[in-house]
Structure 1
Amino acid sequence: MSTTTAGRARSRAAVAAYVPVLVAVVCLVVSVWLDLTNTDAERTAADIGFAFPVALPGLVLAASATWVLLERPGDAVGRVLGAVAVVWSVDGALSGWLAHGYAHGSAGTDPAFWFVARFGAVLLSGLVAVLLLYPTGRLLAGRWRAMSVGVLLASFALPVMLVLAPDDVVFTTPVPGVSTELVGLPVPDPVAEAVLRVGQVLTLGSIVVAVALLRVRYRRGSGRERTQLRWLLWAGIMCVLLVLAGATLSVSGGLTTVLLDVAVITLAASVAVGLLRPGLGDVDALVAWTLTTAVVAAIVVGIDLAVLAAGTALLGDRLDQRDVTLVVLVLAVVVYGPLRGWLGGLVHRLLLGRRNDRYGAVSALAARLETIGTVDEQLPALASAVADTFKVRHVRVEVLTPDGGLLSASHGTPPAEVQEIDIAYQDERVGRLVLPVQGYRSMLSRRDQGLLVDLVRQAAVAIRARLLATELQASRERLVLGREDDRRRIRRDLHDGLGPVLGGVALRLQAAGNAIDTDPARARELVALARTEVSDALDDVRRLVHDLRPPALDDLGLEAAVRQQADRVRSEVDVHVEAEGATGLPAAVEVAAYRIVSEALANVVRHAGASHVDVRLEGDAGGLTVTVADDGRGIGPDVTAGVGLLSLRERAEELGGRCEVVCPDSGGTTVRAVLPYGAAAGDAVPPTDPPTTASSLRRTETVRSTR
């Protein structure tokens, strides 16, 4: 299609989009003119009310249809809305003409009456079409398509029968002088009446089935479609509440028309907003608020009536009407006013939990967590708090442990479909919440989401602190055990190795001294043996000293010692070393950096299969950053962290630092350790991993290796 042709098509579509509004405006103006022209007597004689309230919803429907068709040209829902708007508007204008024509015998009264009394039922078919097509503009696919077509056809049963049935069947009391029997069925009246009843059942049943098919569309729809359908849900709830309000209060006449207008206007606006701007407002909060307000209002009205009836029954005989009214008002203000507020809060809590009490929910959870010692007890408390606060039937909490494991706790029975919400602490994902998807209680408004974030943040701080405290205790235990193991090893080496050697040297020297005069040759032999044993003892001492602190650090400095380590593995892999600001460091930082580089290089040689390694030391006023990056095969997602990787982390955490091992998307493995000292070491916080990409996060969480 050429650009010119496409432009013309868009122009025609834009012009067609304005047709419903133009028709609705003309009909509304005609309705107003007829209302001003007709007298009350004429309206009473024709049993017709004011035409303006009937035509007004047609204008709102038309405006919604025009908005939809302008933004979505050719949309099926927009076209159906436009057709419904035109029929509704014409129906309103013709209802005003009926009063005028019936009183003055004007031409066109019979067709107008036929349109209002018979053809107007096609609006029910339009409602069914909107329900079946919303929000995609297409019927449900698959096996539901045939059912949808059948429902749509069934919705026209009543309009068709109303068009064909004789006046005696349609009207219990025919209007004198008016005939609407333009086309009649050639069947007896009892048969026509039976067919008309069948048409009523089919059309009204089609509305029920269309609503049921919306449930199917909701379950199969995407996130955006579900939001759009919730706008329609809210409109449906409003329509039902308005109908119930009219039936309960036994309203009639003008008030019934007003309630109907509000229902139709709500439906038209919701359909348009749902189609074009589903994110315009918080529809979930609107649905929850509407349901809660309706329940509270119903209870409040019931108790109001009961209080009024009781007051009248108790005091009506003794007091005049003025006194009774005064007493009832005083009771309502002094007693029932606070009671009603308390009752409204109670019903809201029963229906939706403590969502409105943000401070109370957070403080209650904090108080519960303070009295609970272990994470295994804190997780069920968090799950229970979320379930109680939001009145949902299922909550599952999952928390990642520092070693990559997973702790979880559940509350309630898991539903078939759930939604997942991440739990973060200091920009680090530490777990997730799992909540139901179905049910209006599971609809989380932005305010609800804010409360959920507060609850989760409160729990995340407590759980993370408990995990870190547990990890710290375990780390301290490992340090103590390691220190005692080192002491035991040094004691054993000194006692079993150096001690006997030095004792033997002393004995040999003593023997050499005794033999120096009588057997000089023997004395020289003993001295030579003592010299050899002393050399071996010196080697043992050097080994012990090296285990305590590598001598290369004192002899060469950190940078040169690291380069020496790199030279030792150059036959296996190419190593490039860079250092900046790596001088004048505390002894503990030098040892930790040296050990981390040595262990990382050993891991590369053993496991990585790399051809090149970059080692970088960067020091500043706050600490030293050690980075060892290789271009090897990386760490598989199914590999468990071994002793080597754990030792890297422990060496960094001993100084209040942190060490991370990640596998970038570009390949290889990167070991990065931050070793604070000075003021930075004193202000160091518990180690946390910085944000990473989703892929690297998954890979670091499930590190499995024998390193």
Structure 2
Amino acid sequence: MSRVLEPVGVAVVSLLAVAASVWLDLSTTAEERAAAFTEPATATALPGLLLAAASVAVLLALPLHAVGRLLGAVAVVWTVDGALYGWAPYSLAHDLPGSDVAYWFIARLGAFLLTGLVGLLLLYPTGRLLPGRWRRVAVTVLVASAALPVMLLLAPDSVVFSAGEPVGSTELVSLPLSDDAFTVVLRVAQVLTFGAIVGAVALVWTRHRQAGAHERTQLRWLLWAGIMCVLMVVAAGTLSLGGIVTTILLDLAVAALAVSVAIGLLRPGLGDVDALVAWTLTTAVVAAVVVAVDLAVIAAGTRMLGERLDERDVTLVVLVVAVVVYGPLRAWLGGLVRRLLLGRRGDRYGAVSALAARLETTGSVDEALPALAGAVAETFKVGHVRVDVLTPDGGLLSATHGSAPAEVQEIDIAYQSEHVGRLVLPVQGFRSMLSHRDQGLLVDLVRQAAVAIRARLLASELQESRERLVIGREDDRRRIRRDLHDGLGPVLGGVALRLQAAGNAIESDPSRARELVGLARTEVSDALDDVRRLVHDLRPPALDDLGLEAAVRQQAERVRSEVDVTVTAVGAAGLPAAVEVAAYRIVSESLANAVKHAGAGAVDVRLDAGATALTVTVADDGRGIGPDVTAGVGLLSLRERAEELGGRCEVVCPDGGGTTVRAVLPYGERMPG
């Protein structure tokens, strides 16, 4: 029950205080407020109501959370302070008691709002101070933030109310110091309190560096609120607007703080806070530069023409010049500042086309990777980019732009749902905050580069494959020439000589002639065996004699005594010769591996011929292949036979055990079967 009473109490007190402020403003005149040296009470109390709403939302969702309770305390003090702003002129005008209490609260107790702000910075978002050595620093900062409020409680009226407000005595306790001495003490207390605010901001940055991803997102909501507060305060002070406009700007700052703290604690993923921070910073800098140049143009025009023209004519001339001449320059200047701060991320088409132009001028992958790294660094204005790309053989190519920071984030690079590498970017810095739009642009850049890099890798792989084919062809020619020259040639020459000798000995030594003919017959038989071996190496005869399916079944029969083999074939007739040879060799090698290395008890062989490719699958129930086993000549030959035809072959070990060899062998128009 107490958990509900606390937010209810904050809401009731704040609403009553704001309602009292409205009534008191309506009951007093501007002259009465001027005589009492006060501002409208409602404008003062409303920001406190916003803080109260944030406190109630936090406490209802996170009961007893320190940040929610602190927000509630600040809201109550703020709204009551606003109500007393209205009571001071009302009580003086109607000769009612309590004006001295109102002035005491406004001038002395209201300064504790600064301590509340410091406490909020130190406790957000966890509700606890930083641990370890930073806790002592945080406590010191918190104590320093109370220096000014405490000194105001102890200061004499003559120092606190230097403007001569019409009040009675508000001194509860005072130190025995002269006014001049106490003025110096107050100045020192101001330095300590405002220095504590700076220290609290520094500790927020320290917390951000130590935080995880979720907490960093929460802290960035607070960062955005801080930026808004600074911008509103600077705008109010620089432009010297005064009055109600200044009050509205400060109210907007408090509203930003209340909303961002509530969102950061309750729903930090509600919006793209990184994009919001980057946009706010960029817009603020652009606005500051443009306003500064605007003022310079107006000042220059006034100086040049002010003596010749009256005020109305000067204003008209300056407006015409600003619209006709300075308008395009102003737009260009804003774009230039944005590019200097955030790079070219706002120009999606320009960034993609610039990368395309870079990639067109590069040759190898070694040149394309630095081009991608440089394009990302230039587009997003980050100091470090690293690109890693996986090569088909399992290697890694890398290119780096700039020096690596302490913390980095990795983004995967994919091509047609296949992981081909990663992109490494810094974590710290607002330029590293990637909005959803920025992430989309990054994906476009990486996708375009991935296509180009993948194409270059495939081209290199194709060139290497062609070189292997040429080398293999020449090796086969050399082997066939050697076999014919060193084996079959001498045998046939010997046969010819023996037959000639036998012919000469037929009449003189018939028995010797028969012996020579027998030797020739043996040598011819050996030569026929060599010819069969050569023919089998070029193309297994079983493919021509039996067809692919029957030839594979014949291979299965040869190992059936050692392993149970099942063969299934769908549409495996009438395939191109090269496809049949590759499929036959892949099945033969896979069966040999299942028998020799896998210790399999059963093997399932499947040939599935589709419209454009033959899929060969050989699955066994053996021990599989360990992750630390290096691919041998047999496994490499499987991949090479598939790649020679423009296909692919993969060897995997399913979770259920065993090994599965799957090859896809493409072909063009099928032969009639």
Q: Same fold (TM over 0.5)?
A: yes
Cα distance, 1:190 vs. partner?
6.3
Residue by residue over 1:318-367, the C-alpha shift from the partner in whole angstroms, topping out at 9 and shown as x without a partner, is: 23333322221111111100001111111111111111111111111111
Q: Does structure 1 residue 481 correspond to structure 2 residue 471?
A: yes
Q: Could you tell me which residue of structure 1 aligns to residue 208 of structure 2?
A: 218
Spell out the pairing of 1:59-78 with structure 2 (5 A cutoff): 59-78=49-68
Are residues 609 and 117 of structure 1, via their aligned partners in 2, closer, same or farther at CA, if it must alter by over 3 Å? farther
Q: Could you tell me which residue of structure 2 aligns to residue 503 of structure 1?
A: 493
Q: Could you tell me which residue of structure 2 aligns to residue 695 of structure 1?
A: none
Cα distance, 1:539 vs. partner?
1.0
5+ residue gaps, structure 1, are 1-8, 682-707
CA distance in 1, matches of 2:553, 2:181: 105
Moved more, 175-184 or 523-532: 175-184
CA distance in 1, matches of 2:520, 2:295: 113
Q: Report the residue type matching 1:459 in the other structure.
A: A
Which of the numbers 626, 637, 642 marks the counterpart of 1:652?
Answer: 642
CA distance in 2, matches of 1:549, 1:668: 30
Q: Could you tell me which residue of structure 2 aligns to residue 322 of structure 1?
A: 312
Q: Could you tell me which residue of structure 2 aligns to residue 43 of structure 1?
A: 33
Spell out the pairing of 1:383-462 with structure 2 (5 A cutoff): 383-462=373-452
Cα distance, 1:381 vs. partner?
0.8
Spell out the pairing of 1:168-187 with structure 2 (5 A cutoff): 168-185=158-175
CA distance in 1, matches of 2:82, 2:397: 65
Which of the numbers 569, 576, 580 marks the counterpart of 1:586?
Answer: 576
Q: Does structure 1 residue 120 correspond to structure 2 residue 113?
A: no
Q: Does structure 1 residue 363 correspond to structure 2 residue 353?
A: yes
CA distance in 2, matches of 1:159, 1:417: 40
CA distance in 2, matches of 1:677, 1:623: 6
Which of the numbers 518, 522, 540 marks the counterpart of 2:530?
Answer: 540
Moved more, 265-274 or 13-22: 13-22
Cα distance, 1:514 vs. partner?
2.4
Q: Could you tell me which residue of structure 2 aligns to residue 616 of structure 1?
A: 606
Spell out the pairing of 1:119-198 with structure 2 (5 A cutoff): 119-185=109-175, 195-198=185-188
Cα distance, 1:636 vs. partner?
4.4
Are residues 191 and 322 of structure 1, via their aligned partners in 2, closer, same or farther at CA, if it must alter by over 3 Å? closer
Cα distance, 1:400 vs. partner?
0.6
CA distance in 1, matches of 2:139, 2:629: 55
DSSP 3-state at the match of 1:115: helix
CA distance in 2, matches of 1:62, 1:668: 65
Which of the numbers 242, 245, 255 marks the counterpart of 2:235?
Answer: 245
Which of the numbers 427, 444, 460 marks the counterpart of 1:470?
Answer: 460
Q: Does structure 1 residue 516 correspond to structure 2 residue 506?
A: yes
Cα distance, 1:580 vs. partner?
3.5
CA distance in 2, matches of 1:481, 1:169: 98
Cα distance, 1:535 vs. partner?
1.1
Q: Could you tell me which residue of structure 2 aligns to residue 4 of structure 1?
A: none
Are residues 606 and 110 of structure 1, via their aligned partners in 2, closer, same or farther at CA, if it must alter by over 3 Å? farther
Is the Cα–Cα contact under 8 Å of residues 56 and 89 in structure 1 kept in the other structure?
A: yes
DSSP 3-state at the match of 1:118: helix
Q: Does structure 1 residue 302 correspond to structure 2 residue 292?
A: yes
Cα distance, 1:397 vs. partner?
0.7
CA distance in 2, matches of 1:151, 1:45: 38
Moved more, 554-563 or 292-301: 554-563
Q: Report the residue type matching 2:274 in the other structure.
A: D
Q: Could you tell me which residue of structure 2 aligns to residue 331 of structure 1?
A: 321
Moved more, 604-613 or 168-177: 604-613
Is the Cα–Cα contact under 8 Å of residues 505 and 530 in structure 1 kept in the other structure?
A: yes
Are residues 293 and 648 of structure 1, via their aligned partners in 2, closer, same or farther at CA, if it must alter by over 3 Å? same
TM-score (norm 2): 0.95
Residue by residue over 1:268-319, the C-alpha shift from the partner in whole angstroms, topping out at 9 and shown as x without a partner, is: 1111111112122111111111111111111111111111122122222223
Cα distance, 1:668 vs. partner?
4.1
CA distance in 1, matches of 2:211, 2:634: 49
CA distance in 2, matches of 1:228, 1:162: 34
Q: Report the residue type matching 2:11 in the other structure.
A: V
Moved more, 491-500 or 136-145: 136-145
Q: Report the residue type matching 1:259 in the other structure.
A: L
CA distance in 1, matches of 2:148, 2:623: 72
DSSP 3-state at the match of 1:18: helix
Moved more, 400-409 or 644-653: 644-653
Cα distance, 1:119 vs. partner?
1.0
CA distance in 2, matches of 1:195, 1:315: 51
Is the Cα–Cα contact under 8 Å of residues 167 and 174 in structure 1 kept in the other structure?
A: no
Is the Cα–Cα contact under 8 Å of residues 423 and 431 in structure 1 kept in the other structure?
A: yes
CA distance in 1, matches of 2:639, 2:306: 84
CA distance in 2, matches of 1:223, 1:664: 35
Q: Does structure 1 residue 602 correspond to structure 2 residue 602?
A: no
Q: Could you tell me which residue of structure 2 aligns to residue 34 of structure 1?
A: 24
CA distance in 2, matches of 1:170, 1:84: 22
CA distance in 1, matches of 2:465, 2:439: 37
CA distance in 2, matches of 1:212, 1:163: 28
Q: Report the residue type matching 2:297 in the other structure.
A: V
Q: Report the residue type matching 1:131 in the other structure.
A: L
Is the Cα–Cα contact under 8 Å of residues 419 and 434 in structure 1 kept in the other structure?
A: yes
Is the Cα–Cα contact under 8 Å of residues 623 and 680 in structure 1 kept in the other structure?
A: no
Q: Does structure 1 residue 88 correspond to structure 2 residue 78?
A: yes
Cα distance, 1:17 vs. partner?
2.4
Q: Could you tell me which residue of structure 1 aligns to residue 44 of structure 2?
A: 54
Are residues 207 and 666 of structure 1, via their aligned partners in 2, closer, same or farther at CA, if it must alter by over 3 Å? farther
Is the Cα–Cα contact under 8 Å of residues 398 and 407 in structure 1 kept in the other structure?
A: yes
Q: Please give the root-mean-square deviation of Cα atoms over the aligned residues, in Å.
A: 2.2
CA distance in 1, matches of 2:594, 2:169: 97
Q: Could you tell me which residue of structure 2 aligns to residue 678 of structure 1?
A: 668
CA distance in 2, matches of 1:674, 1:555: 24
CA distance in 2, matches of 1:185, 1:573: 102
Residue by residue over 1:663-690, the C-alpha shift from the partner in whole angstroms, topping out at 9 and shown as x without a partner, is: 4444443321111223599xxxxxxxxx
Q: Report the residue type matching 1:129 in the other structure.
A: G
Moved more, 392-401 or 174-183: 174-183
CA distance in 1, matches of 2:100, 2:85: 12
TM-score (norm 1): 0.90
Q: Report the residue type matching 1:204 in the other structure.
A: F
Q: Could you tell me which residue of structure 1 aligns to residue 273 of structure 2?
A: 283
Cα distance, 1:85 vs. partner?
1.2
Q: Report the residue type matching 1:252 in the other structure.
A: G
Q: Does structure 1 residue 233 correspond to structure 2 residue 247?
A: no
Q: Report the residue type matching 2:330 in the other structure.
A: R
Cα distance, 1:641 vs. partner?
3.8
CA distance in 2, matches of 1:655, 1:15: 77
Q: Report the residue type matching 1:284 in the other structure.
A: D
CA distance in 2, matches of 1:346, 1:106: 61
Q: Could you tell me which residue of structure 2 aligns to residue 693 of structure 1?
A: none
CA distance in 2, matches of 1:288, 1:415: 20
Cα distance, 1:633 vs. partner?
4.8
CA distance in 2, matches of 1:303, 1:279: 38
Are residues 189 and 309 of structure 1, via their aligned partners in 2, closer, same or farther at CA, if it must alter by over 3 Å? closer
5+ residue gaps, structure 2, are none
CA distance in 1, matches of 2:371, 2:631: 30
Moved more, 321-330 or 354-363: 321-330
Q: Could you tell me which residue of structure 2 aligns to residue 106 of structure 1?
A: 96
Q: Report the residue type matching 1:51 in the other structure.
A: A
Q: Report the residue type matching 2:28 in the other structure.
A: N
Q: Could you tell me the percent identity over the aligned residues?
A: 76
Cα distance, 1:252 vs. partner?
2.5
Is the Cα–Cα contact under 8 Å of residues 100 and 167 in structure 2 kept in the other structure?
A: no
CA distance in 2, matches of 1:610, 1:111: 94
